[in-house]
Copies of this chain bind each other. A is one copy, B any other.
Amino acid sequence: MAEEVKLYGTWVSPFSRRIELALKLKGVPFEYIEEDLSNKSPELLKYNPVHKKIPVLVHNGKPIAESLVILEYIDETWKNHPILPQDPYQRAMVRFWAKFIDEMVLATGWKANFGEGKEREVAIEEFAEQMKFLENELNGKDFFGGETIGFLDIVGNLIAFWFPVRQEALGIEAFTQEKFLVLFKWIANITKIDLVNECRPPREKHLAFVKARIEGLQSAPK
């Protein structure tokens, strides 16, 4: 039976882009469906009735939601170019830091950018601490995955490409090469990989999009 693999995403979401990257790393052919989040398709609502969110991967008719869950599924289903390490302890560490990025770093990054007064100051310090934890995890390696990119590099894309764009759009300098030399070296390493660049929004288009969103947020009634 021919495999049918569909990915529902949006071009600007780090969460669907990471699924795209994992599929391409493994050479899995798939159909990509761009969702308009202001007018979600009946398919998306059918496939993810719980969260009604992208990304959704549909493999031979069976839907999976939640990007970290999808990444694990992809690694268990297509075994070439494993993205998780084999050792159970190393796997646990990758899962721990992926969760850390999606839960802690994302929330702190938001407050560091859009918080007000004291909340913002505290978040900027917390963000710096979180980045130091991640630098420590890189620990001299070229990639989180070691000699090549793996699960955590895919998840960390968010930090590599989405945070700098938001920062530039806001005109702030919390995440800089001077402060986070190790992470910026890692960003330089992953940027050398063609597939990584294919699976992120074009920089200028991304920046224009984020600037427009920020204007929308700032002009919204509080």
A residues with a Cβ closer than 8 A to B are 50, 59, 62, 64-66, 68-70, 72-73, 76-77, 88-89, 91-93, 95-96, 99-100, 104, 133
Nearest CB in chain B to that of A100: its residue: B50
How many subunits of this chain does the assembly comprise?
2
Shortest distance from the beta carbon of A193 to any chain B beta carbon, whole Å: 26
Query: Which residues of chain B come closer than 8 Å to A72, judged between CB atoms?
Result: 91-92, 95
**A70: nearest residue on chain B (CB-CB)?**
B92
Instruction: Write out the residue numbers on chain B whose beta carbons fall within 8 Å of the beta carbon of A70.
Output: 92
Question: Given A66-B95, A66-B99, A69-B92, 5 more contacts at CB 8 Å?
Answer: A50-B100, A64-B96, A68-B95, A68-B99, A69-B99
Closest to A94 in B: B69
Q: Are A73 and B100 in contact (CB under 8 A)?
A: no
Query: How distant is A155 from chain B, measured CB to nearest CB, in Å?
Result: 14
Q: For residue A95, which residues in chain B have a CB less than 8 angstroms away from its CB?
A: 66, 68-69, 72
Q: Which residues of B contact A99 (CB under 8 A)?
A: 66, 68-69
Question: Distance (Å) between the CB of A132 and the closest chain B CB?
Answer: 11
